[in-house]
Amino acid sequence: MKYYNSIIETVGNTPLVKLNNVTKGIKGTVLAKVEYLNPGNSMKDRIAIKMIEDAEKAGLISKGGTIIEGTSGNTGMGLALAAIAKGYKCIFTVSDKQSQEKIDILRAVGAEVIVCPTNVAPEDPRSYYSVAKKLNADIPNSFYPNQYDNLSNRLAHYETTAPEIWRDTEGKITHYAAGVGTGGSMCGTAKFLKEQNPNIVTVGIDTYGSVFKKLKETGIFDEKEIYPYLTEGIGEDILPKNVEMDVIDHFVKVTDKDAALMTRRLAKEEGLFVGWSCGSAVFGALEYAKAHLKEGDVMVVILPDHGTRYLAKIYNDAWMKDHGFLEREFSTARHIVERRNGKAALLTISENTPVGEAVRLMNKEGISQLPVSDKEGKEIVGSLIDARTLSRLIDNPELKNSPVKDIMEKPFTFVGLDNTLDVLSSLINKENPALLVRDEAQNVHIITQQDLLEALTV
């Protein structure tokens, strides 16, 4: 009889499938490694088993223990399957931008799920990273795999994913492309492939709002690159230990919208019902391929997960329209800026300007908030808000002669050009009544509640 002792023995050996329709006009062959055919419907099954088995060998968890992990959903599913096979409990922390389907699936396989806010710094005690670490510290016989920094993640792909690609392409692969999140699938696979053939070109796919591309190209971890985005499972606001920049030759950035539309195309045109980051990977890979692939080249792209995780999002027309991805004008920060046709250049005031003069400027221009620049006028260092400035002047009228820097508040939040209206509106509140955005020429623009209202009613 041929059978498996548990579901986790079925992980791996996923097929390569040629892309035929979305690749029109591209030279060479583009193959997709379809990772949703793993039992947990994602490539994260591979790393889940590896991390748990390595932890068992190291004595970090024993029978009856608890696995605790911060996850975008897919790693949690892989860990849950391993836990079922091995007799562990699971607690997962997820960010509130993750799809409800992912959360429901984790609970369906017996895991406890704790939803944490997205728009907080990684070190904030409310972040899904921090909550997972605290639970691990508080619960006896618990193991925190930490897929970001656990090198078993990268090793899993080095030992399984990469050899499968090398075997199935008979060593003819010339290009490898994958989304970069934790870095495991990109860097573990790339390292193995380059050991077989140093001429293989590796292309990492990043998202706008993530630090990776600029970090690779300049060596600078630029916090100005970090802002909210919607695509799940790709990009980071931290540098995981599994990210090994030396094995990534190039990065391509992909917008939320381009990723979502390509995901839907893969389902309709290739019969591949995949997840959102798969669209990112294919769109970015094809952008690179258009310029660089030659006849005879073979590019392999990783498709990390399955479309069932995104039924209420990118496979839902209403959701896509609400987010400006289908048939809607002026639905992003970019559209708001472009609609001004060069008008309404950002008005700022120097931090050394007297408060009284700043108030007169706000009254003259009819504005309720004003960004504050440094004395050279190069950087935004703070902000003035009319109601709060008025309150301080009432308490102490002499403040009118003080420099703005004595009473200014923190700068308005910077966002990306392709952030959609729902993201922009969620970031505007009493504490942060306006947003700032840089265009391609690095000019700074302000976005207010009035701009959002106009965009919604056009």
Which residues are identified as catalytic? 44
Q: Which long-range CB contacts under 8 A does 436-441 form with residues at least 24 apart?
A: 436/346, 436/371, 436/380, 436/411, 436/412, 437/333, 437/337, 438/414, 439/334, 439/337
* Nearest C-alpha neighbor of 265 from the set 32, 441, 6, 3: 32
Three-state SS sequence of the chain: CCCCCCHHHHCCCCCEEECCCCCCCCCCEEEEEEHHHCCCCECHHHHHHHHHHHHHHCCCCCCCCEEEEECCCHHHHHHHHHHHHHCCEEEEEEECCCCHHHHHHHHHCCCEEEEECCCCCCCCCCCHHHHHHHHHHHCCCEECCCCCCCCHHHHHHHHHHHHHHHHHCCCCCCEEEEECCCCHHHHHHHHHHHHHCCCCEEEEEEECCCCHHHHHHHCCCCHHHCCCCCCCCCCCCCCCCCCCHHHCCEEEEECHHHHHHHHHHHHHHHCCCECHHHHHHHHHHHHHHHHHCCCCCEEEEEECEEHHHHCCCCCCHHHHHHCCCCCCCCCEHHHHHHHCCCCCCCCCEECCCEHHHHHHHHHHHCCCEEEEECCCCCCEEEEEEHHHHHHHHHHCHHHHHCEHHHCCECCCEEECCCCEHHHHHHHCCCCCCEEEEECCCCCEEEEEHHHHHHHHHC
Query: How far, in Å, CA of 304 to CA of 185, rounded?
Result: 9
In this structure, the number of other CB atoms found within 10 A of the CB of residue 351 comes to: 19
